[in-house]
């Protein structure tokens, strides 16, 4: 995961227990470890940390590169997350399929993957 002005190992939350519940029950992460003010979670090969900090979660955004962005969006929509519509963005000469979702504390997630290249047609 890549974040702006935030360490993905210390995503800001207000309280650890309800945040762990959201990340495990809704976002599909598994709890690796938990302390009073910090928790580590994992989904597949992605590991993140949640921390009670002074940072405002509303000012944080994180990008996750995923293998099947459409399937993940459908999964989250079925869990009531209300993700944004799917869209394509161009960055550094590549096209990405992405969607956004906001967690209850305000952290904005962007999930995406590189769009498949269109096959060149020859005559």
Side-by-side strand order, sheet with 38-43: 11-13, 46-52, 38-43, 30-34
- The pTM of this model reads 0.80
Is a pLDDT exceeding 60 seen at residue 2? no
Give me the DSSP letters along 26-49: TS--EEEEE-SSEEEEEETTEEEE
pLDDT digits (tens, 9 = 90+) for 13-24: 989 999 999 999
Contact 13, 56 (CB under 8 A): no
User: What pairs with residue 41 in β-bridges?
Assistant: 31, 48
Contact 32, 20 (CB under 8 A): no
pLDDT digits (tens, 9 = 90+) for 32-73: 999 999 999 999 988 999 999 888 888 888 888 899 999 999
């Amino acid at each position: 995961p890549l974040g702006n002005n935030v360490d993905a190992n210390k995503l800001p939350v207000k309280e650890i227990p309800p945040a762990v519940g959201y990340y495990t029950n809704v976002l599909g992460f598994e709890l690796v470890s938990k302390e009073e003010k910090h928790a580590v979670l994992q989904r597949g090969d992605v590991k993140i940390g949640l921390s009670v900090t002074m940072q405002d979660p509303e000012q944080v955004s994180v990008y996750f590169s995923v293998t099947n962005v459409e399937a993940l969006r459908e999964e989250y929509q079925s869990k009531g997350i209300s993700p944004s519509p799917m869209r394509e963005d161009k960055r550094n000469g590549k096209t990405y399929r992405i969607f956004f979702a906001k967690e209850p504390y305000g952290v904005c997630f962007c999930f995406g993957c590189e769009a498949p290249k269109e096959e060149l047609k020859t005559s």
